[in-house]
């Protein structure tokens, strides 16, 4: 399933169950609409099944059907007919139905000779001899207790039902009774509603059916609640015509509008939309180094924001060993020496580590623990988490220690305001399993009660304060007066926490465009692509952020640049097929090192 682009579900709860299983068993990240799998997005759609209403409406008028209706009515003259058709499977709730019907006859003796339950049972997916004998016993017991020589309250047909007879039974029924304890795309309820177009008789529907979520005019029941179902049977048999008509019209309108054609179209639309989004996403272009070099050269005020692990420095097995190369240090030093540049390393590492390896670079800005601490160039470290309650750390540490003891090779990295459990050096299959257990425990038992966010990192689980993220620190830097008049913005990162930086950069560019378009509406509007009025911001943003465009676009871009020039380059390091908010991609940290070296010598 996880190799699909889209998965369609009958109900929201089925989609939720899959999400939960993927998060808890496989450790995947998910939202109610998306499961993240191997850098791919599996889209979850709720598309309840529909039936071919028109052909059923036509079929029910056939003379054969009419004939069968008349013969059944003759057979059960003077009786109310309750109808049910189910497969002989444990989940179809036949026993629950019989129990409820028995209770109804028990509670309401005045109805004993006046109602018949016609129960059609078709063979199930497997042989169910035990269930079959229980059902037979129950029917015999009801019929002997409440029936007579002339009349049996339960009429049981065990066979495949010919279509015309099935339609005739649904047309003449006074009540449809569906008591399944679990099902998916069962269409019996929909067929019953269409067949009742004229009589408008009610439907009792188990809350566990796949259609219960959409058929709001039905009487919903829990099939395990025998007494309630018994009472509802009686209420339906005495329901007034006005209520019947109201309930039926709600159900019928839904079934008509959500027919099989609508169902098929919903699937096709979902697949088209999702595939289009995914193919767009798959084309994160490789960073055009000529364009960025030219842009760098022509700019006068630059902001350069770099993540550390996986961006400036390759991933290593032991965090302490991930240290910058001399080439990286030299390039950063040169970049910082240029008065046009403000250069920052924004990392999840703690301040002590960043100080040790990057602290001596003059003019370099540092941000530690995902923005919890900052060191402006030539200043001391400043804490942004002073006011936060960090008492949760002890509780999280205890949980991480528990998993560390049981996962050989894993360890805990404790920082001031965050805490990380690393398992890169443990047996991977087992560690992944442990990580999922730990994650699941944190999500269900801890996260909702504590002011924290849980992050699935690269072979690690990290817990940090909710209020802290890299986007916040980027936002502060962009808003700071020292960055007014910025004309070159470069942001590079490799993991989930860096996405917050990309999003903030994108929003910043969009806000500038909005400002410009508000100030110069004519000039900008004349230049906007005509077909994309709803998408104006996005188009403009791409034009600004992605200078590698067609001639026509470049003309438009240069027009914007005259208003206010800003070239923004957001770059994701690693797999270019990965979902990201960055516009550009480079495959490895070495490309970043080469790039910053080239830029530092470029001016």
**371-392 as b/e, with b when 16 or more CB fall inside 10 Å?**
bbbbbbeeeebeebbeebebeb
Q: Which of 292, 300, 291 is nearest to 564 (CA)?
A: 300
Using CB under 6 A, which of the segments 184-192, 207-215, 236-244, 453-461 binds ligand L263DTV3? 453-461
Is 354 in contact with 347 (CB distance < 8 Å)?
yes
State which residue, 462 or 487, has the beta carbon closest to ligand L263DTV3: 462
Q: What is the number of other CB atoms lying within 10 angstroms of the CB of residue 140?
A: 14
Token representation of residue 596:
């910053």
Is residue 184 near ligand L263DTV3 by the rule CB under 6 A?
no
DSSP state at residue 160: P
E strand or H helix that includes residue 426: none
Is residue 424 near ligand L263DTV3 by the rule CB under 6 A?
yes
State the minimum distance, in angstroms, from the CB of residue 462 to ligand L263DTV3: 6
Positive or negative torsion for Cα 317, 321, 324, 326: negative
Is residue 497 near ligand L263DTV3 by the rule CB under 6 A?
yes
Among 316, 360, 525, 533, binds ligand L263DTV3 (CB under 6 A): 316
Is residue 349 near ligand L263DTV3 by the rule CB under 6 A?
yes
Quickly list DSSP for 561-586.
HHH---EEEEEEES-TTS--S-SEEE
Q: Which of 309, 320, 321, 301 is nearest to 347 (CA)?
A: 309
Using CB under 6 A, which of the segments 314-322, 531-539, 555-563, 580-588 binds ligand L263DTV3? 314-322
Is residue 93 near ligand L263DTV3 by the rule CB under 6 A?
no
Is residue 499 near ligand L263DTV3 by the rule CB under 6 A?
no
Is residue 309 near ligand L263DTV3 by the rule CB under 6 A?
yes
Is residue 459 near ligand L263DTV3 by the rule CB under 6 A?
yes
State which residue, 310 or 574, has the beta carbon closest to ligand L263DTV3: 310
Is residue 460 near ligand L263DTV3 by the rule CB under 6 A?
yes
Q: What is the rounded distance in angstroms from the CA atom of residue 397 to the CA atom of residue 401? A: 6
Among 34, 131, 315, 388, binds ligand L263DTV3 (CB under 6 A): 315
Q: How many residues bind ligand L263DTV3 (CB under 6 A)?
A: 23
State which residue, 184 or 359, has the beta carbon closest to ligand L263DTV3: 359
Quickly list DSSP for 168-204.
HHHHH-SEEEE--SS-SS--HHHHHHHHTTTT---EE
Is residue 420 near ligand L263DTV3 by the rule CB under 6 A?
yes
Q: Which of 27, 51, 83 is nearest to 215 (CA)?
A: 51
State the minimum distance, in angstroms, from the CB of residue 211 to ligand L263DTV3: 46
Is residue 347 near ligand L263DTV3 by the rule CB under 6 A?
yes
Token representation of residue 146:
């409440």
State which residue, 462 or 567, has the beta carbon closest to ligand L263DTV3: 462
Is residue 310 near ligand L263DTV3 by the rule CB under 6 A?
yes
Note every long-range contact of 496-499, with CB atoms under 8 Å and residues 24 or more positions apart, other chains counting: 496/455, 496/456, 496/457, 497/307, 497/348, 497/370, 497/455, 497/457, 497/469, 497/470, 498/307, 498/311, 498/470, 498/572, 499/580, 499/581, 499/582
Is residue 462 near ligand L263DTV3 by the rule CB under 6 A?
yes
E strand or H helix that includes residue 224: none
State which residue, 363 or 457, has the beta carbon closest to ligand L263DTV3: 457
Q: Which of 332, 278, 260, 300 is nearest to 34 (CA)?
A: 278
Q: What is the rounded distance in angstroms from the CA atom of residue 478 to the CA atom of residue 483? A: 6
Place of tokens 């001596």: 360
Is 282 in contact with 79 (CB distance < 8 Å)?
no
State the minimum distance, in angstroms, from the CB of residue 361 to ligand L263DTV3: 16
Using CB under 6 A, which of the segments 32-40, 131-139, 185-193, 454-462 binds ligand L263DTV3? 454-462
Is residue 576 near ligand L263DTV3 by the rule CB under 6 A?
no
Task: Show the 3-state SS of 382-417.
Answer: EECCCCCCCCHHHHHHHHHHHHHHHCCCCEEEECCC
Is residue 328 near ligand L263DTV3 by the rule CB under 6 A?
no
Q: What is the rounded distance in angstroms from the CA atom of residue 179 to the CA atom of residue 86? A: 9
Is residue 422 near ligand L263DTV3 by the rule CB under 6 A?
yes
Among the options 307, 498, 500, 567, which is catalytic?
A: 307
Is residue 393 near ligand L263DTV3 by the rule CB under 6 A?
no
State the minimum distance, in angstroms, from the CB of residue 305 to ligand L263DTV3: 12
Q: What is the rounded distance in angstroms from the CA atom of residue 575 to the CA atom of residue 223? A: 51
State the minimum distance, in angstroms, from the CB of residue 309 to ligand L263DTV3: 4
Convert residues 257-296 into a mask of x (bound to ligand L263DTV3 by CB under 6 A) and - (unbound). Answer: ----------------------------------------
Is residue 472 near ligand L263DTV3 by the rule CB under 6 A?
no
Using CB under 6 A, which of the segments 151-159, 219-227, 458-466, 558-566 binds ligand L263DTV3? 458-466
State the minimum distance, in angstroms, from the CB of residue 380 to ligand L263DTV3: 21
State the minimum distance, in angstroms, from the CB of residue 391 to ligand L263DTV3: 21
Judged on CB neighbours under 10 Å (0-12, 13-18, 19+), 359 is: middle
Using CB under 6 A, which of the segments 25-33, 268-276, 441-449, 459-467 binds ligand L263DTV3? 459-467
Give catalytic status of residue 534 as yes or no: no
Is residue 16 near ligand L263DTV3 by the rule CB under 6 A?
no
Could you report how far apart the first and last alpha carbons of the chain are, in Å?
Answer: 52
State the minimum distance, in angstroms, from the CB of residue 422 to ligand L263DTV3: 5
E strand or H helix that includes residue 291: helix 289-298
Q: What angle do CA 449, 453, 456 make, to 5 degrees?
A: 130
Using CB under 6 A, which of the segments 165-173, 208-216, 255-263, 310-318 binds ligand L263DTV3? 310-318
Question: Residue number with the shortest CB distance to ligand L263DTV3?
Answer: 348
State which residue, 194 or 592, has the beta carbon closest to ligand L263DTV3: 592
Is residue 416 near ligand L263DTV3 by the rule CB under 6 A?
no
Give the interface with ligand L263DTV3 as residue ranges (CB under 6 A).
307-310, 315-317, 319, 322, 347-349, 413, 420, 422, 424, 457-460, 462, 495, 497
Residues catalogued as catalytic: 307
């Amino acid at each position: 399933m996880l190799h699909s682009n889209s998965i369609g579900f009958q109900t929201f709860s089925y989609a939720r169950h899959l999400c939960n299983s993927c998060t808890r068993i496989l450790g995947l990240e998910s939202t109610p609409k998306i499961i993240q799998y191997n850098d791919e997005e599996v889209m979850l759609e709720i598309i309840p099944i529909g039936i071919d209403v028109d052909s059923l409406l036509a079929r029910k008028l056939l003379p054969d059907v009419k004939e069968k209706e008349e013969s059944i009515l003759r057979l059960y003259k003077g009786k109310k007919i309750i109808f049910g058709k189910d497969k002989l499977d444990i989940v179809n709730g036949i026993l629950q139905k019989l129990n409820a019907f028995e209770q109804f006859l028990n509670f309401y003796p005045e109805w004993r000779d006046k109602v018949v339950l016609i129960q059609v049972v078709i063979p199930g997916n497997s042989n169910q001899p035990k269930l079959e004998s229980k059902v037979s016993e129950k029917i015999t017991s009801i019929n002997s207790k409440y029936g007579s020589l002339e009349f049996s309250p339960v009429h049981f047909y065990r066979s495949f039902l010919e279509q015309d007879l099935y339609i005739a039974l649904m047309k003449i029924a006074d009540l449809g009774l569906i008591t399944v304890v679990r099902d998916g795309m069962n269409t019996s309820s929909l067929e019953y509603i269409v067949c009742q177009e004229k009589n408008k008789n009610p439907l009792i529907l188990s809350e566990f059916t796949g259609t219960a979520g959409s058929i709001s005019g039905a009487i919903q029941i829990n099939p395990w609640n025998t007494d309630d179902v018994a009472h509802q049977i009686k209420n339906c048999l005495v329901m007034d015509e006005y209520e019947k008509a109201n309930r039926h019209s709600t159900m019928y309108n839904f079934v008509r509008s959500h027919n099989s054609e609508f169902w098929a179209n919903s699937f096709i639309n979902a697949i088209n939309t999702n595939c289009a989004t995914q193919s767009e996403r798959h084309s994160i272009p490789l960073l055009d180094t000529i364009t960025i070099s030219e842009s760098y050269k022509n700019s006068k005020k630059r902001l350069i924001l770099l993540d550390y692990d996986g961006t400036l420095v390759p991933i290593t097995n032991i965090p302490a060993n991930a240290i910058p190369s001399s080439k990286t240090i030299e390039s950063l030093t040169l970049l910082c020496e240029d008065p046009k540049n403000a250069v920052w390393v924004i990392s999840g590492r703690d301040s002590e580590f960043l100080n040790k390896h990057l602290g001596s670079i003059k003019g370099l800005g540092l941000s530690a623990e995902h923005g919890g601490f900052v060191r402006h160039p030539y200043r001391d470290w400043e804490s942004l988490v002073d006011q936060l309650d960090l008492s949760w750390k002890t509780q999280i540490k205890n949980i991480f220690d528990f998993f560390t003891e049981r996962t050989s090779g894993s360890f805990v990295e404790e920082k001031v305001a965050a805490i990380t459990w690393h398992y890169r050096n443990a047996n991977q299959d087992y560690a992944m399993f442990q990580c999922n257990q730990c994650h699941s425990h944190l999500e269900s038992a801890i996260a909702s009660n504590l002011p924290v966010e849980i992050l699935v990192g690269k072979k690690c689980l990290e817990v940090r304060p909710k209020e802290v993220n890299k986007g916040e620190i980027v936002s502060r830097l962009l808003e700071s007066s020292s960055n007014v008049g910025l004309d070159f913005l470069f942001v590079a990162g490799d993991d989930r926490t860096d996405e917050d930086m990309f999003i903030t950069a994108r929003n910043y560019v969009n806000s500038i465009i909005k400002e410009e378009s508000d100030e110069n509406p004519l000039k900008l509007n004349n230049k906007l692509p005509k077909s994309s009025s709803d998408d104006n911001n996005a188009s403009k943003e791409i034009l600004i952020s992605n200078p590698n465009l067609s001639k026509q676009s470049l003309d438009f871009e240069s027009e914007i640049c005259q208003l206010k020039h800003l070239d923004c380059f957001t770059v994701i390091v690693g797999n270019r097929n990965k979902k990201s908010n960055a516009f550009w991609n480079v495959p490895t940290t070495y490309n970043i090192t080469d790039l910053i070296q080239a830029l530092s010598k470029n001016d």
